[in-house]
Amino acid sequence: MTTLSAVRVAGALATRRVARPRVGVVKSCVPHRKRVTRSIVTSASENDSSQASPSIDKFVVPGEPYYPGMYADWSVTKDDQLEVWSYRVCLTTVAVTTLACASPAVFGKDLSFLSNNLSYFLGASSLGAALYLIHMYVDPIKKFMQALWAVGFTGSVCIALTTHESVPQYVAVHPAAVWLVGPMFAALTGVAFKEGMCYGKPECAALFFLIPATLLGHLSGIIDQGGEKNLIILWCLLITLFASRKYTQEVKDDIGDKSVFLFNAMSESERDEWLRLTMEKDPRRYQRLVSQER
């Protein structure tokens, strides 16, 4: 088994956007917690000068809890916290604007001061930001969801520019407009699926079925007005519960295995060097990587 072949362990995982860190030393874990596995600890002076050390210096933060990952132990940084909390705020904004846009259908009154383009595009933009911040190992799926959002957002803009009604009101009166905005809601369905699968949240599993059922029912006309109202009310309740419960999760859970994202952000030569060091300094971890490839 060559060192290069072990790189393919990460082949099914997608790269995450990370800033290129400084070349430095990966710190050991904090002393007050028992180590599960030993991190790859090295410095440039400990290796042959002809070989570059992996350019990662933020796997473990001194004095902070650490978590065992596939490639190394890691800690939650302030940047991680900011990213996760921003993601949660975006989901909250999506939930609040959903309530605003759905208010005429729910209450049966003219509530244009709530269900307007400002509310709609604030929620749509927040969904786009959430799709940028979301942590997903399979990057092609993430990019596909972002593409769906872009198509639906573009369709929404076309409606806003060519009609005298708000996008929610126009779609409510013209079911065929679901073709224009639907892809964006398909992206929201993808977020619900990811959250439901990763964290076992029943409200997300329900949203995964409810969102397309509501839109397809409106598009086809097979659901009467009363049925649509009930589905929209349930949609509002579930997405509010979903957004609220995000704040009960630990930040680390929203990140996933940070070492996977950082490893995949390395160049091929950096990966080779990191795996070589893993084989020398942490053979147990290296054997796990090799066994997963098999």
Up-side HSE of residue 264: CA atoms within 13 Å toward CB?
20
The whole-angstrom separation of Cα 51 and Cα 273 is: 7
Cα three-residue angle 232-234-235, rounded to 5 degrees: 60
Is 285 part of a structural domain of the chain?
no
256 lies in a domain? no
Is 292 within the bounds of a domain? no
Does one domain contain both 31 and 92? no
C-beta separation of 59 from 265 below 8 A: no
Per the listing, tokens 């995000």 go with 246
| Residues 151, 196 within the same domain | yes
pTM score = 0.76
Query: Do 185 and 177 meet the contact criterion of CB atoms below 8 Å apart?
Result: no
The confidence band for 116, taking pLDDT boundaries of 50, 70 and 90, is confident
Same domain, 88 and 204: yes
Q: In residues, how long is the chain?
A: 294
If one counts the domains in the chain, the total is 2
Give per-residue pLDDT as tens, 187-238: 999 999 999 998 999 999 999 999 999 999 999 999 998 999 999 999 999 9
> 245 to each of 78, 127, 200, 227, 254, how far by Cα in Å?
22, 17, 12, 27, 12
Element (H, E) at 127: helix 117-133
* 257, part of any domain: no
**DSSP code at position 113:** T
CA distance 283 to 276: 10
Q: Could you tell me if 101 and 186 lie in one domain?
A: yes
Q: Which residues span the domain enclosing 19? A: 3-70+262-280
Residues 140-172 pLDDT 10s: 999 999 999 999 999 999 999 999 899 999 999
Question: How big is the CA angle at 160 (ends 154 and 166), to the nearest 5 degrees?
Answer: 125
- Kindly report, residue by residue over 122-137, the tens digit of the pLDDT: 999 999 999 999 999 8
Please check whether residues 99 and 52 belong to one and the same domain.
no
**What amino acid occupies position 226?**
G
pLDDT at 163: 93
Whether residue 15 lies inside any domain: the answer is yes
Residues 140 and 215 reside in one and the same domain: yes
* C-alpha distance from residue 284 to each of 5, 11, 29, 152 (Å): 17, 21, 17, 47
Domain contains 290: no
SS (H, E, C) 66-82: CEECCCCEECCCHHHHH
Please tell me the predicted confidence (pLDDT) of residue 121.
96
CA dist 240 and 248 (Å) reads: 14
Domain-located, residue 131: yes
Question: Do 66 and 169 have their domain in common?
Answer: no
Asked if residue 253 belongs to a domain, the reply is: no
Same-domain pairing of 151 and 97:
yes
Residue 271 sits in the same domain as residue 227: no
Q: Could you read off the pLDDT of 24-67 as tens digits, one per residue?
A: 333 333 333 333 333 333 333 333 433 444 433 446 776 678 88
Q: Measured between alpha carbons, how far is 240 from 193 in angstroms, rounded to an integer?
A: 16
268 and 150 housed in the same domain: no
In this structure, the answer to whether residues 166 and 276 fall within a common structural domain is: no
